[in-house]
Structure 1
Amino acid sequence: MKLNLNIQPLNTWIKTGKEPLVISGPCSAETEEQLVATAHLLAQTGKISALRAGIWKPRTRPGEFEGIGSIGLEWLKRAKEETGLPTAVEVATAKHVEEALKAGVDILWVGARSTANPFTVQEIADALKGVDVPVMVKNPVNPDLSLWVGALERINNAGITKLAAIHRGFSSYEKSAFRNEPMWDVAIALKTLAPELPLINDPSHISGNRDLIGYVSQKALDLDMQGLMIESHIDPSVAWTDAKQQVTPAALADIIDHLTLRKAEVRNSEVNDKLAELRNQIDKIDDLVIQKIAERMQIAEKIGQYKKDNNITILQVGRWDEILQKRTTYGKALKLSAEFTEKLLELVHNESIRRQTEVMNADAAQGQAAEKLTHA
């Protein structure tokens, strides 16, 4: 199923002559001097397509710096006038939309916390009706594809055709090297649903650490994302918010210089022929994998019948532990990561449990159906 979005190509509403497309600027507009100076340094790199800055900052706890407020829009206007860079800000209320547009902001984006709340998104969408302005929508805080899609649809239904999504990662209780888990599969799922929708990556919020920004940026470009939103500050060490994930304009330029741009499509017939050959091999293997899984499920149903006949519980914890240990070890020997093998086994195991449960409860289900017919 594909999303039916009415949108314009990215290059019709933002200059994409520079590759990759980069939107950059401080996490927060702190002072007029800080914002304007950062903007000039970014413009001088020649690698920036738009200037971003946080004006209103939704923070997790009260008492933290929640943005400089509307006065920052005037600073942003000055930065735009002096550098020629289009500007972008986050909006979380109808009032934010009104003030940003009045100040001449070129691009708006909906933040992760706002995307998670359909009421907030609808308020923003209502404020955008009749307005011709680009809007970007960040993924929600949690990995909920439907919420992300719903927010994009609400904005699009308001008449916004200059639309893009921003992948900024997802919150997770599990500790890892990332501030927000990339969960690339969710972003890929969105691209699959809406291939024409521009998808921009936010490596700053995924990384939470400037040392990882280059790595995440390259990964995003390799997955055919159309651009990057990277936070940059004239002096990150004294930044009022998210200091660890911001880079200086010079460091940003260095990161971009070391990125490798790859083509989404190849026109060389020899290369295409080789790709087609390799993909044909994958298709055959995929068919075989599915066939073998189907055979496995047939055996699982027989096991379910045997357990039913002998009054044995479906779940055998010892057996499941044995499968996990043996198959994970085998997977490592075949150069498969333990995480991948475990996830695959869990999917297969859950389907086996479901099949066996159906077999175990078949008589009860038939009995309920017969009872309904009796009382009909």
Structure 2
Amino acid sequence: MVVVMKINTSAEQIATLDKRLKASGYQTHLIRGAKRIVIGAVGDRRPVEPAELESMPGVEKVLRIMKPYKLVSREVQETDTIIKIGGLEIGGKKLTVIAGPCAVESREQLLSAAQAVRRSGANVLRGGAYKPRTSPYSFQGLEKEGLRLLAEVGAQTELATITEVVDEESLLTAVRYVDMVQIGARNMQNFRLLRAAGKSGKPVLLKRGLSATVEEWLMAAEYIVSSGNREVILCERGIRTFEDSTRNTLDLSAVALAKQLTHLPVIVDPSHATGKRELVGAMSRAAVAAGADGLIIEVHPDPAVALCDGPQSLDPGEFDALMSGLRPLGAAVGREL
């Protein structure tokens, strides 16, 4: 449920209500908006009637949340969540572009990619240190050394950094080196990892699972938020269908739908969605037009020799051309790049 407080509610009244809800078995989440204060209460072990709460001092009204996901729903928070990392804002008017190689291969490779994407206007440097691969014989990443290089290059180029984590152990290591962590499609329903990410203190980019419904995707986000971390970014990266002409089927309708259902930022990964570099530009433009808050794009200094996902990676020149083409489109839909 959502408890809407009166404008002049005192701290003491909020504390009294919070204590009452927790005594009834609810988890409480205080949300201070620009125009009002609300308390999200999750749980129903000892249900409390709305009328009982509405009679308490400082309470304006109580609303039932009908969606199975509670804290990520717009029923709890009408305004968009904006995630701040230094001077970077994710979810605001400015589009966020995350770019870099699928995997960190060397210092030279990562630095070259970082310098290129920064010149073209990217905000965040991506680089995989732990690579969950279909084949056990494929490159699995540099792990801790990759994280160290990511931190070093990110600091040198003044870019925020993000990397994928694959389990609780990699999460505990990664949070010491990067600004954000990513939970990939294969781990979208790794509930222990989701809860750990909720306690990590780092913003989390949550990719949609290979065959996940939008509701399942938002329920996964609920795990993170209910564990104490409200800084979650949703990422649509294509889902598995009967179609095999592209790596996945990019579901742009999910972007528009998620923006209606949740207050969390939503970005798109056109690289993994298509698996073909020649389609990345078109799908990036379509994502911006559909209302995405940003993009995550694979860029490699020399895709032909990439150890991971070369066919879907752009080279620096292709990425620069893409960014140039996105600027007027972003302006047309009221976004800045």
Instruction: Give the TM-score normalised by the residue count of structure 1.
Output: 0.64
> Judging changes above 3 Å, is the alpha-carbon distance between structure 1 residues 258 and 19 closer, same or farther for their aligned structure 2 residues?
farther
Q: Map Cα deviations across residues 96-117 of structure 1 (whole Å, 9 max, x no partner).
A: 11101122x10111100111xx
Which AA in structure 1 matches 2:158?
Answer: G
Matches within 5 A, 1:104-253: 105-115=178-188, 118=189, 120=190, 122-176=191-245, 178-194=246-262, 196-253=263-320
> Judging changes above 3 Å, is the alpha-carbon distance between structure 1 residues 185 and 129 closer, same or farther for their aligned structure 2 residues?
closer
Which AA in structure 1 matches 2:146?
Answer: G
Q: Map Cα deviations across residues 157-193 of structure 1 (whole Å, 9 max, x no partner).
A: 11111111001001223223x2210122333332222
Q: How many percent identity over aligned positions? A: 32
Give the corresponding residue for 2:176. 102
> Judging changes above 3 Å, is the alpha-carbon distance between structure 1 residues 248 and 19 closer, same or farther for their aligned structure 2 residues?
farther
Which AA in structure 2 matches 1:91?
Answer: V
Matches within 5 A, 1:49-128: 49-103=123-177, 105-115=178-188, 118=189, 120=190, 122-128=191-197
Alignment counterpart, residue 37 of structure 1, candidates 112, 128, 147: 112
Rg larger in structure: 1
- Structure 1 Cα separation of the partners of residues 106 and 256 of structure 2: 38
- Structure 1 Cα separation of the partners of residues 100 and 93 of structure 2: 16
- Structure 1 Cα separation of the partners of residues 150 and 134 of structure 2: 25
Which AA in structure 1 matches 2:251?
Answer: M
Give the corresponding residue for 2:88. 15
Q: Tell me how far 1:130 sits from its aligned partner.
A: 4.0
- Structure 2 Cα separation of the partners of residues 5 and 55 of structure 1: 31
- Structure 2 Cα separation of the partners of residues 168 and 77 of structure 1: 25
Range with bigger deviation, 129-138 or 90-99: 129-138
Give the unaligned 5+ runs of structure 2.
1-65
> Judging changes above 3 Å, is the alpha-carbon distance between structure 1 residues 175 and 83 closer, same or farther for their aligned structure 2 residues?
same
Matches within 5 A, 1:285-304: none
Q: Tell me how far 1:69 sits from its aligned partner.
A: 1.4
Q: Tell me how far 1:18 sits from its aligned partner.
A: 9.2
Give the corresponding residue for 1:288. none
Q: Tell me how far 1:138 sits from its aligned partner.
A: 0.4
Secondary structure of the equivalent of 2:272? helix
- Structure 2 Cα separation of the partners of residues 181 and 55 of structure 1: 26
> Judging changes above 3 Å, is the alpha-carbon distance between structure 1 residues 18 and 247 closer, same or farther for their aligned structure 2 residues?
farther
Contact 1:28 1:67 survives alignment (8 Å)? yes
Which AA in structure 2 matches 1:96?
Answer: S
Contact 2:82 2:265 survives alignment (8 Å)? yes
Q: Tell me how far 1:19 sits from its aligned partner.
A: 4.6
Q: CA RMSD in A?
A: 2.2
Contact 2:98 2:296 survives alignment (8 Å)? yes
Q: Tell me how far 1:143 sits from its aligned partner.
A: 4.0
Q: Tell me how far 1:10 sits from its aligned partner.
A: 2.8
Contact 1:40 1:79 survives alignment (8 Å)? no
Q: Tell me how far 1:128 sits from its aligned partner.
A: 3.2
The answer to which structure has the higher helix fraction is 1
> Judging changes above 3 Å, is the alpha-carbon distance between structure 1 residues 233 and 167 closer, same or farther for their aligned structure 2 residues?
same
Q: Which structure is higher in RCO with an 8 Å CA cutoff and minimum separation 6? A: 2
- Structure 2 Cα separation of the partners of residues 50 and 98 of structure 1: 21
Give the unaligned 5+ runs of structure 1.
267-376
> Judging changes above 3 Å, is the alpha-carbon distance between structure 1 residues 5 and 18 closer, same or farther for their aligned structure 2 residues?
closer
Q: Tell me how far 1:134 sits from its aligned partner.
A: 0.7
> Judging changes above 3 Å, is the alpha-carbon distance between structure 1 residues 237 and 84 closer, same or farther for their aligned structure 2 residues?
same
The reply on whether 1:48 has 2:122 as its aligned counterpart is: yes
> Judging changes above 3 Å, is the alpha-carbon distance between structure 1 residues 147 and 44 closer, same or farther for their aligned structure 2 residues?
same
Contact 2:175 2:200 survives alignment (8 Å)? no
Which AA in structure 1 matches 2:285?
Answer: Q
Give the corresponding residue for 1:4. 70
- Structure 1 Cα separation of the partners of residues 183 and 160 of structure 2: 17
- Structure 2 Cα separation of the partners of residues 189 and 41 of structure 1: 33
Q: Tell me how far 1:63 sits from its aligned partner.
A: 0.9
Instruction: Give the TM-score normalised by the residue count of structure 2.
Output: 0.71
- Structure 1 Cα separation of the partners of residues 334 and 151 of structure 2: 39
Which AA in structure 1 matches 2:214?
Answer: L
Q: Tell me how far 1:37 sits from its aligned partner.
A: 2.0
Secondary structure of the equivalent of 1:261? helix
Contact 1:9 1:198 survives alignment (8 Å)? yes
- Structure 2 Cα separation of the partners of residues 145 and 159 of structure 1: 22
